[in-house]
Every structure is written in C-alpha cells, then in structure tokens.
Amino acid sequence: MYLETFGLREPPFGDTPDPRFACLFTRERDILAHIEYELGAADSGITLVTGEQGVGKTLLCMLIEADAPNHGVTVVRHGAGDYALGTVGWLRSMYAGFGLPLPLSAEANTEDHLVDGLAAGLGRLAHHVDKRFLLLLDDGDDLSDIDLADIERLLVACAKNSAPMYVVLAGTTAFRDRLTGAAISARIRSRLPLVVLNEEESERYVRHRLHVAGTSQMPFSRLGLRSLRDDGKGNPRRLNTLAHRALERAAERGEQSIGERALGFVAREVLPQYARYWLRRYRKQIFIGAATLAALFLIGSATWFFSGRSPSRPKNLVTATPDQALAKFKDALPDPEAGKVRVWGELLARWQVTSRETSVANAIHCDAVIFPGFACVSGRGSIDQLRRFDRPMVLELDDADGKQQVLMVGAGDEAVRLYLGGKYVELTRDAFEHVWNGRFYAVFRIDPAMPAKLSRGDTGDGVRWLLAHLPSNGNAGPASATAFDRSVESRVRSIQQRFGISADGVVGPETMFALSSLETEGPHLARGVP
C-alpha cells in the first residue's frame, strides 16, 4: 500500500462512497437544499435525481439519509441489492426499514396487501408520533416496471392513510428517459440533474480527498494533476480509479511525485478507451496541423467565455441597453420558489452554515434569531447603503416579478453582481433599481448572549460585546468601562450615521449587523465590480 509513502492515514480514493470524503459544490448544495425544502413543504411526491454513472448520486443519497432524522423524517434507503430480492421481498424489507411488524399470513404477502399494509402502518405511526417518511431509491435503473408501479400505488395509499411519504429516485439519464410517459412521472415534482465536475472542481475534489485522508504533501505534480483532471473527465468515480492506481504505482516504483507520464501509463492500464489519452497528449501538434479548425475553436471559446456562460464568470449585461439588459435579466430568473431556495442556500453556504444548524426553509423566514448565534435583519435601503455593510444580501424584486429574490454578491460605482439561483449576472445599478423594490435581507453571526436591543443605562455581556466592536471616535471612555453611558451613545450614533442607519443611539438589529460587518470573518462583497 502507499499510505506510508505519502503520509496518509487511510486510502483517499476508495471505490465505496464515503460521506466523510464528501466534497460539495454549488450544484450538490442546491440539490440537498431543494430536497430539504420539498420534505418540509409537501406531504407526498417524487424528486428525480439523474446523472451519469459515478457522478455521485449514491453519495448524495447517503448525505440525505444522514441528515433526514435531524428534521423529524424517518428514512429508508434502498439500492440494487434490495431490488434483487424480488418485488415481494423488497416490499417486505421496507417494513423492517420503517420499523413496522412484518405480516405473517401467506394471504398478506402479496404485492397489493403489502403495499396497503405498509401505507396503513405508516399512517398509524404518523398519527401517534407526528413523523414524516422518506424513501430513497438509489440505482433506479434496476427498478422493474412492476416496482415502479408499486411505488406509485404506495404513494396513493399513503395519501389515503394520511401518511406523509416522499420519494427520491436516483438514476442515470436513461432512467429519466424511461420514466417519460409512465404513470409515475405525473407524481414527479422536480427533476434535478447532477452533472460532471468542471476542471477547477476536479482539482479541488482531488485536493479535498487527499486533505481528509491526512496527507501534508501533494503527491501529484502540476502536470500530473492536470493530466488526472483531464483523463478523469469530471467523473468522481473515474478520478478515484485513476488516482488510486497512480498512488499504488508510485509506491511500487519508490516515486515521491506523480507526473504526466506516470498518469499516461495509468490511463492506458485502467481506462477502457485509453487511446483518447494520446489524442489529448498530442493535441498541440493536431491543432498546429489544422489551423482553420484551431481558429474556429478559439473564436468559439472566446465567444462562449465573454458571453458570460462560463460558470466562474458572471454574465455581463452592463454593456447592453437598459431595455435589453432588463429583458435578458428577467429571462435568466428561475422559478420564484426554486430561486428563493437556491439563493438562501447559497447565502447560508457562504456563511458556512450547515444543515445541522438550520434548514434553508427555516432561514427564509428571516426570524430575528435563526438559531442561537446567527441572526437575520431586513429593511429597505439603497445600493450605496448596502455597499457600506460589505456583506452578501438577499434583495427582493418588485411585485411585477412575483416577489423574486436574488443574492447581491458584489457592488461597484456603476454595476451590481447578482446570483440568481444557478447563475451570476452583472447589471448596471440604474437598470437593477428599476426592478428592485428596495427591500433587503441580511444574516450575520452575533454573540448568543446579545439582547435584542441596547440603550443608554444598560450593562452586562451585551454591552461588553458592544464596546469590543465599536470603533473609537477619538473620545472613548476608559477601556475598562462596562456601562452604556453618554460617551458610548455618542459612538453608537457615529457608527449609525456612517452606515446610513437612523441615528437614535439605540443598538438594534441593523446596528448590530453594521458592527458585525466590520469583522474580517465571514463573507464579503466581491471586489472588481465596476
């Protein structure tokens, strides 16, 4: 093994999905947030997650399974091994998974009786202990047409027995096409594609797994990492296979660094269509020999990149006319409800808030305290005022756009950068202010002991926090002061005037947010926006 050679505690690129090595990007967080929202918003329905083999659907199901109990959901996850039991055996295994007694009589062990009995048992459980139920069906391609029909009948029976049952189906794109026209497709509430990683994400994925496995060194050279990224084609399973064999081969040969040449040997050894490696390796010579094709390729790539379709570059609408910019902006907006979930999910992710601390559905309400130590404030303001806070904020569009919400991630003198729930755009401030109603929502971390309001005469831990965060105005009292006196009130008014808050000398939610924005910790607005 290669563990000692590279200072690893455990193999970082195993074949079996392991939640400890989960490397989540925006698309995975969006899917998890969407499913979490659906579980809380709907009593029944199906979410379909599709992607090519090895892209991470099983790992996603494992993460959903681990998090569901935190939200009062009883979950059962089944895969290809369970379907191999046959329809009756598979249905019986659901009884055990949901903690229901198995029917004993032969008459009760038919498909119809098992489905009805399962729904009735779940209805009784929901009535007595107020539970919700989630059925995670991985490897959906292995489900027979009979199995799919039983799932549809189970949802109907659960609805009749008041048993809140939700189903997540995971399979390949061929499975998605197979469901088209099937009776069960009418119950699918959302279809979520899980796509392959891009080049940057592939490198981050490899580095993340090595870090979790405990290495303090990068075993791949710069060219070796690029070769691994290119041959992996953004598929996590393929990346794991290549990286695992490359580490084994390096340890066998006593090598401390894995380069492009070594990855070439590994690709020919473990990939079925390894001839593509030579095409990639000699692509420069091929491009030189086909100058016309190269020119077309570069022109097309430049057009694609500067049109704003790159996932790492916002779509630039600044140079368009105001009418064109607003039309393109509105076309880019997703469904309001789905967009709201994605926008708040992205905001929580930027603050590194986990699903164990709160859910997206809970955060959307913007309660004064979302959970101890994490607060939310809303109000109305201008772009200039929000720039002073230097924090990403959720902005609400006017009524004409159905209370759509977007996330402001950057603001300059002329433009704003916005996350719409899946894509980024840059829009002139004048154009954006035509569709923004002025309302904003912001979250921030705060001392859990902080009271809702502080004013002159108060003492205690809240005042100590205030004194520690108030910038000096050159006329502050002694450092040992612990009371909210006249000098503290003067400093509060000064900070309120600085941030455009009503200067009443009372520390409320907006003032606390302003003070917390002075900290370096936490997300800030992007730089470089014109």
Alpha-carbon distance of 324 to 484, in angstroms, equals: 53
Fold classification of 316-445 is: Cathepsin B; Chain A (3.90.70)
Q: What is the pLDDT of residue 42?
A: 72
Nearest to 113 by CA among 124, 102, 97, 129: 102
Look up residue 251 and give its two tokens: 């340890």
Do the beta carbons of residue 152 and residue 45 sit within 8 Å? no
Q: How sure is the predictor about 466, in pLDDT bands with cuts at 50, 70 and 90?
A: confident
Whether residue 280 is predicted with pLDDT greater than 50 in this model: the reply is no
Distance between alpha carbon 526 and the CA centroid of its chain, in Å?
19
Nearest to 515 by CA among 478, 476, 464, 475: 464
Please compute the mean of the pLDDT values over residues 174-197 and round it to a whole number: 90
Do the beta carbons of residue 398 and residue 356 sit within 8 Å? no
Q: Mean pLDDT check: name the lowest of 13-22, 82-91, 289-298.
A: 289-298
Q: What is the pLDDT of residue 304?
A: 42
pLDDT tens, position by position, 332-385 = 888 888 888 889 999 998 898 888 889 988 999 999 999 999 999 999 889 988
Q: Mean pLDDT check: name the lowest of 103-112, 259-268, 440-449.
A: 103-112
Q: DSSP character for 15? A: S
Q: What is the pLDDT of residue 426?
A: 86
Chain position carrying tokens 């084609």: 233
Per-domain boundaries in the chain: 3-17+198-281, 26-193, 316-445, 461-507
Alpha-carbon distance of 27 to 80, in angstroms, equals: 25
User: How many CB atoms lie under 10 A from the CB of residue 313?
Assistant: 13
Pick the CATH number of 26-193 from 3.40.50.300, 3.40.640.10, 3.30.70.20, 3.50.50.60: 3.40.50.300
Q: Which residue type occupies 325? A: A
Q: Is 304 exposed, middle or buried (0-12, 13-18, 19+ CB in 10 A)?
A: exposed
Q: How sure is the predictor about 312, in pLDDT bands with cuts at 50, 70 and 90?
A: very low
User: How many CB atoms lie under 10 A from the CB of residue 97?
Assistant: 16
* Mean per-residue pLDDT of the chain: 84
Please compute the mean of the pLDDT values over residues 126-144 and round it to a whole number: 88
Q: What is the pLDDT of residue 306?
A: 43
Torsion of CA 38, 42, 43, 45, to 10 degrees: -70
Enumerate residues 6+ apart whose C-beta is below 8 A from 300.
none
3-class secondary-structure state, position 329 = helix
Look up residue 152 and give its two tokens: 């549809």
Fold classification of 3-17+198-281 is: Helicase, Ruva Protein; domain 3 (1.10.8)
Residue bearing the bigger pLDDT, 277 or 461: 461
3-class secondary-structure state, position 425 = strand
Count the alpha carbons within 13 Å of 224 in the hemisphere toward its beta carbon: 21
Alpha-carbon distance of 6 to 209, in angstroms, equals: 13
